[in-house]
Amino acid sequence: MKILGRLITALITPFEENGKVDYEKAGKLASALLDSGSDGFVVSGTTGEGSTLNQGEKLQLFQEIKSAVGDKGTVIAATGNYNTAESVELSRKAVKTGVDGLLLVVPYYNKPTQRGLFQHFKEIATCSPIPVIIYNVPGRASCNISAETCLELAHGCENIVAVKEASGDLSQIMKIIKGKPENFLVISGDDMLTIPVIAAGGSGVISVLANAYPAQCTELVSQSLKSNFKSARELQFRFLEMIELLFIEGNPSGVKEMLSIMNICHNYVRLPLVPVSRTVHTRIQKAIEEINKS
């Protein structure tokens, strides 16, 4: 937990109106989030629109964010995809930018077997001198890494130190927590499930919501880790609708719209993503107003 942090923000990637990455804005946003309670960041992940960033843009983002936050926060580079060799190449290059860890998504589209998943993650981890986090998100990958395979990697690969679990399957998550090595971390990959995952023995959350509400997310995680679940629930209930609105028309379109309304960042996204509809914009605006009143 000291290496990675309890609240890790799945950082958005700010763009200029012409579609270019706004590296300066990204660094400033990361620094501001650290000051508001975030322990670190995943850079160029799902929320960071990594699927539409080229390798050069990703590497510059890793370097710029790490330069901006220094040793004050953890920078985790999302370097995994459905191509093991490419993932190894990008991971090696990312290490040279000074990042603190790697996030490796379950390979999508090609639907490997559990043995294929094991070999994929082992191959990349073997080439990495820094900690590795597995990212299980079957809703996007159309492929689930089983509890058994996850535990085999946790016990067999020393530098695979955590799993970001976004399967929504609490039974699977608890099996991993039950069978994991002592120092292996199980991190919620879903803002809506932060409390139950921590209550079951998880270590924290990689959060989309924290882009806009880092202080509140920090408090939610802190109260949950202290088993102050009444206080944690009260915080969670305040943000139930907001969390739903983050994803109703795609991530990060929802959170970028929220940040735009809050005058933090423009709502520019790259195709095939588009900004949220006027209807969702109005709902987000109303939800922000309600939260500000409470």
Other residues' Cβ atoms within 10 Å of the Cβ of residue 155: 13
CB 54 within 8 A of CB 78: no
CB 5 within 8 A of CB 45: no
- Report helix, strand and coil shares of the chain as percent, to nearest 5: 50, 15, 35
Q: Which of 164, 180, 256, 268 is catalytic?
A: 164
CB 207 within 8 A of CB 8: yes
Q: How far is CA 216 from CA 29, 98, 224, in A?
A: 17, 29, 12
CB 269 within 8 A of CB 257: no
Question: 284 CB contacts (<8 Å, ≥6 apart)?
Answer: 242, 245, 254, 257, 258, 261, 276
Of 188, 209, 191, 234, nearest to 288 by C-alpha is 209
Active site includes 135?
A: yes
Active site includes 164?
A: yes
Cα 237 to its chain centre, rounded Å, is 21
Q: Which of 23, 58, 66, 135 is catalytic?
A: 135
Tokens 């995809």 appear where?
Answer: 81
Question: 137 CB contacts (<8 Å, ≥6 apart)?
Answer: 46, 105, 106, 164, 166, 167, 189
Which residues does the annotation mark as catalytic? 135, 164
